[in-house]
Amino acid sequence: MNNIYMGIDVGGTNIKFGKFNANGDILNKWEITTRIVNNGEFILPDICDQIFTHIDYGDKLKGVGIGVPGPVTKSGVVLGCVNLGWPIYNIEENLSNLLGGIKVKACNDATVAALGECYKGAGINCTDMVLVTLGTGVGSGIIVDGKLMLGYNGAAGEIGHMPVKCDETEYCTCGKKGCLEQVASATGLVREAQRIMKSTDISTTLRSINSFSAKDILDLAKLDDKVAMDVIELTMGYLGIALASVACVINPKQILIGGGLSKAGTFLLNIIEEQFKQYVFKPCGDIEFKLATLGNDAGIFGAAALIINS
């Protein structure tokens, strides 16, 4: 029999699956659409269907790791995944029961992605690291001393809601003002660009693009468009402040940058590192900045690591 493990990454749009051997080598990967109707009640049955369909003759399923978009307590209770419509319930117990008692380990998706990068990506062999995800939102997963940092309620690493911009006038989705996510996410970049464009006459190619995106801003900044560059320096300045605070609190060895915005590559990475250096306390500032390398697969690798190492 071949011992196999499933690594699963549940998102609001898709559910990604990876089938792994005991060494964490990926044997197969695929994805399905997330059915969020009826408070997400089809999600676990759909996952079980997929698992059973992909177990081959000679496979012995030893366990399932799963990352979900919301806080998960140490005992496996999801504390409300708003995107999926889920109530508060014990996902480890429920999924295990549906799978006839197979062991299940669940965790927040950002933390699982960090574990994935430590396991098979840019953070390999690093025991103290933070994976920062810059996309529609801003999140992070934290590894301390080789272990996932979950937090008392499973809400550790929620850096998107660190208060960094004291003069922000608009509200964040969380109900506060001045959160990191309001400035350093893809939507944050676009909003700050619109603000800067309103406040100045400086010419910028952004004015000629109908509803430009964060990618447009990054592409133009690389071409020395002044307004685009100002937007990146302003927004990554706030990220630098937030990461300087993270460094004071947990003193990691590495900070990895992932998520959609990180496709801008070393151009963006270097700006983030420069901004960070301006604000960080020196004894906590000796940090390697790297780009994450697993992209959208970080979650399934991390979910596999979660169960294989459990």
**Choices 49-57, 95-103, 154-162, 293-301 (CB under 8 A): range interacting with a second copy:** 154-162
Site residues for a second copy, 104-143, by CB under 8 A, read 127-128, 142
Among 279, 291, 295, 309, binds a second copy (CB under 8 A): 279
Tokens describing residue 207: 């004015």
CB of 245 to a second copy, least distance (A): 4
277 forms part of the interface with a second copy (CB under 8 A): no
The pair phi, psi for residue 294, each rounded to 5°, is -90, -10
163 forms part of the interface with a second copy (CB under 8 A): yes
- Residue 194, sorted as left (phi over 0), alpha (psi -120 to 50) or beta, turns out to be alpha
CB of 246 to a second copy, least distance (A): 6
Rg (CA), the chain: 20
Among 154, 258, 259, 302, binds a second copy (CB under 8 A): 154
Instruction: Give the three-class secondary structure for 298.
Output: helix
**Choices 45-53, 112-120, 226-234, 280-288 (CB under 8 A): range interacting with a second copy:** 280-288
DSSP string, 32-47: EE---HHHHTTHHHHH
CB of 23 to a second copy, least distance (A): 27
Tell me whether strands 14-21 and 2-10 are parallel, antiparallel or unpaired.
antiparallel
In terms of CB distance, is 50 or 309 closer to a second copy? 309
Among 161, 232, 271, 304, binds a second copy (CB under 8 A): 161
179 forms part of the interface with a second copy (CB under 8 A): yes
Other Cβ atoms less than 10 A from the Cβ of 153: the count is: 12
Instruction: Give the three-class secondary structure for 152.
Output: coil
Tokens describing residue 208: 């000629």
Site residues for a second copy, 64-103, by CB under 8 A, read 71, 74, 79
CB neighbours of 69 closer than 8 A, spacing ≥ 6?
10, 11, 12, 81, 83, 84, 108, 109
HSE of 156, CA atoms in CB hemisphere, 13 A: 22
> Are 64 and 26 within 8 A, CB to CB?
no
Among 27, 36, 149, 197, binds a second copy (CB under 8 A): 149
Number of residues that bind a second copy (CB under 8 A): 45
Site residues for a second copy, 189-248, by CB under 8 A, read 241-242, 244-246, 248
CB of 226 to a second copy, least distance (A): 23
> Are 5 and 308 within 8 A, CB to CB?
yes
151 forms part of the interface with a second copy (CB under 8 A): yes
**Is the dihedral angle over the CA atoms 246, 185, 33, 82 positive or is it negative?**
positive
Dmax of the chain from CA atoms? 69
158 forms part of the interface with a second copy (CB under 8 A): yes
* Residues near a second copy (CB under 8 A): 71, 74, 79, 127-128, 142, 144-145, 147, 149-159, 161-163, 166, 174-176, 179, 241-242, 244-246, 248-253, 279, 281-284, 286
